[in-house]
Amino acid sequence: MDAPFPSALHAAVLDWYDDHARDLPWRGVEATAWSVMVSEFMLQQTPVARVLPVHGTWLERWPTPTALAAEPTGEAVRMWGRLGYPRRALRLHAAAVAIAERHGGEVPASYDDLLALPGVGDYTASAIASFAFGERHVVLDTNVRRVLTRVVSGAELPSPAVTRVERDVATSLLPVDPATAATWAVATMELGALVCTARQPSCDACPVAGLCAWRRAGFPAYDGPPRRGQAWAGTDRQCRGRIMALARETDGSVPLGRIEGAWPVAEQRQRCLAGLVADGLLVAIGSELDEVLAYALPS
C-alpha cells in the first residue's frame, strides 16, 4: 500500500461525507446512544427507508432501555411491525433488560460491555461504540466491506464472511484520532449505501474513483463462492411472516382456524408454527385435552 494512499482516501471520503451524508435521526447531534442502538438492531438486513418510521415510533414509546425493559416481550415483537426477522425484537428487548439491570439504564460505552449484552456481536458493539460514543473501532458492515474490497483489493464483492486479511486491511486504514475514525466508519458505510452499491455502482459520482483498484483492473466480475439469493414467495420466511402479521394485529390470541386460512399448506404451516414457538415469538394456547387451539404473542 503506497504511503499517501490512506491520507488521500480519508480526505476524499470524509469530504464527500460532509456534503452528502443523509439526515438520519440516529446520526443527529441530539441522538441518544439508545437511538443508535435501536437503529443498529433494526438496520440489520433491512433498508433505511423501512426502518425510519418504525425507529421513530419505537423511540416515542420507549425512549430509554428501561422503558422497553418494563414491557412484555410480546409488545416489542408487535411494535417491530413488518421489519422482518422479528427475533431481533426479542434480542433488543433482552439487551434493554440487561442494560437496566447492569448499567443503571444507560447504554454502556465500552466495547466489552456492549459485547456482553444479549444479541450484540462484534459488528453491533463496534458500531454503537463508534457512532454513539466516538470511539475508535473497525466497523465492518456489508457496505463498508464492499467499498474496501473494491478500492483496496480490486475485487467486485467481498467474501461471504469477514476474513482476517479483510479485517487487517480495515484496521490499517482506520484513522488514529478516535473522532475521525468514528466519522470514517460512518462515511465509508454511507459511500457503500449511496454510491458504491452492489449492483449498480455510480463510479462517475464516486469520490475515490481515481484510487479504486477495481476500476483500474477493468471491473472484474465476482468469482468467489456462490452468494445466497433472497427468495421469498412460498418460503418458510413468507409463511412465518404471514403468521406473525396475524399475531401482531390481534390483541389476544389468534385461533388456529385463522392461521390455517392464512397459510393452507399444512406441513409447512406446522413447521413454521413450531419454529416460531421455539424462537420465543409465539406461545401456544391449548384446551383441556392439550390440543393447540390458538397462538399469541408472548406476555
Instruction: Give catalytic residue positions.
Output: 40
Cα(273)–Cα(295) distance, rounded to whole angstroms?
9
Residue carrying C-alpha cell 396475524: 246
Q: Which among 144, 178, 130, 101 is positioned nearest to 33, based on CA atoms?
A: 130
Cα(74)–Cα(217) distance, rounded to whole angstroms?
52
Report whether 34 contacts 107 (CB < 8 A).
yes
Cα(174)–Cα(35) distance, rounded to whole angstroms?
25
Grid cell at residue 296: 399469541
Orientation angle between helical segments 73-80 and 48-61, nearest 10 degrees: 140
CA atoms within 13 A on the CB side of 79: 23
**What does the DSSP 8-state code read for residue 288?**
T
Grid cell at residue 22: 443523509
DSSP 3-state of 78: helix
Residue type, 190: E
- Other C-beta atoms lying within 10 Å of the C-beta of residue 111: 19
Widest pairwise Cα distance in the chain: 75
Grid cell at residue 14: 470524509
Task: Write out the H or E segment, with its range, that includes residue 255.
Answer: strand 254-255
